[in-house]
Amino acid sequence: MNPQIEYLGSYHKVEQAPKADRPEFAFIGRSNVGKSSLINRLFGRKDLAYVSKQPGKTQSINYYRVGEDYYIVDLPGYGYARQSRKQRAGWDRMVRRFLQQRSALTCVFVLLDSNLTLQSIDHEFINWLGENQIPFALIFTKSDKSKPQTVDENLQSIREGLLQDWEYLPEQFLTSSTSGDGIGTVLNYLHTLVEGTKEDEGK
Ligand code: GTP
Ligand code: MG
pLDDT of 202: 72
Answer yes or no: is pLDDT of 70 > 80: yes
pLDDT tens by residue, 104-126: 999 999 999 999 999 999 999 99
∠ CA 115-31-114, rounded to 5° = 15
For the chain, how big is the Rg over CA atoms in Å? 16
Give the ligand whose atoms come closest to the C-alpha of residue 57.
1
Protein residues whose CB sits closer than 6 Å to any atom of ligand 1: 31-37, 51-53, 55-58, 77, 141-142, 144-145, 176-178
Which of 170, 28, 185, 184 lies closest to 95, judged by CA?
Answer: 28
Please say if the pLDDT value at position 5 is more than 70.
yes
3-state secondary structure (DSSP) of residue 141: strand
Q: What is the pLDDT of residue 123?
A: 96
Statement: residue 36 has pLDDT above 90: no
Report whether CATH 3.30.60.50 matches the domain 5-202. no
Q: Which ligand is nearest to the CA of 83?
A: 1
In this prediction, residue 56 carries a pLDDT of 53
Judge whether residue 190 has pLDDT over 70: yes
Separation between Cα atoms, residue 195 and residue 151, nearest integer Å: 32
Residue 29 has pLDDT above 80, yes or no: yes
Which residues fall within 8 angstroms of residue 171, CB to CB, at 6 or more apart? Answer: 137, 138, 189
Q: Report domain extents, the chain.
A: 5-202
pLDDT above 70: residue 50: no
Q: Tell me which ligand sits closest to the C-alpha of residue 177.
A: 1
Give the C-alpha distances (Å, rounded to integers) separating 194 from 70, 128, 141, 153, 188.
Answer: 7, 24, 23, 33, 10
Nearest atom of ligand 1 to the alpha carbon of 179 = 27
Cα 28–chain centre separation:
4
Q: Cite the DSSP H helix spans in 105-175.
A: 120-131, 148-163
For residue 51, which atom of ligand 1 is closest to its CA?
A: 12
Q: Stretch 52-78: mean pLDDT, rounded?
A: 81
* pLDDT of 51 above 60: no
Which atom of ligand 1 has the smallest separation from the CA of 56?
3
| Protein residue with its CA nearest to atom 4 in ligand 1 | 31
Percentage of the chain exceeding pLDDT 70: 90
Average pLDDT of 46-68?
72
pLDDT band at 42 (very low <50, low <70, confident <90, very high): very high
CA of 199 to the centre of ligand 2 (A): 32
**Residues 183-198, mean pLDDT to the nearest whole number:** 95
Cα 28–75–35 angle (5° rounding)? Answer: 55
Tens digit of pLDDT for each residue in 141-189? 999 999 999 999 999 999 999 999 999 999 999 999 999 999 999 999 9
* CA 164 to ligand 2 center in whole angstroms: 30
How far is Cα 27 from Cα 9, in angstroms, rounded to an integer? Answer: 16
pLDDT at 47: 64
| The predicted structure's pLDDT at residue 119 | 95
What is the Cα–Cα distance from 167 to 194, expressed in whole angstroms? 26
Strands 136-141 and 172-174: parallel
Ligand 1 midpoint to CA 175 (Å): 12
Ligand 2 is an ion; residues with CB less than 5 A from it: 35-36, 58
**In contact, 182 and 173? CB cutoff 8 Å:** yes
Instruction: Calculate mean pLDDT across residues 12-32.
Output: 94
User: Phi/psi class of residue 197: alpha, beta or left (left: φ > 0; alpha: ψ in -120 to 50)?
Assistant: alpha
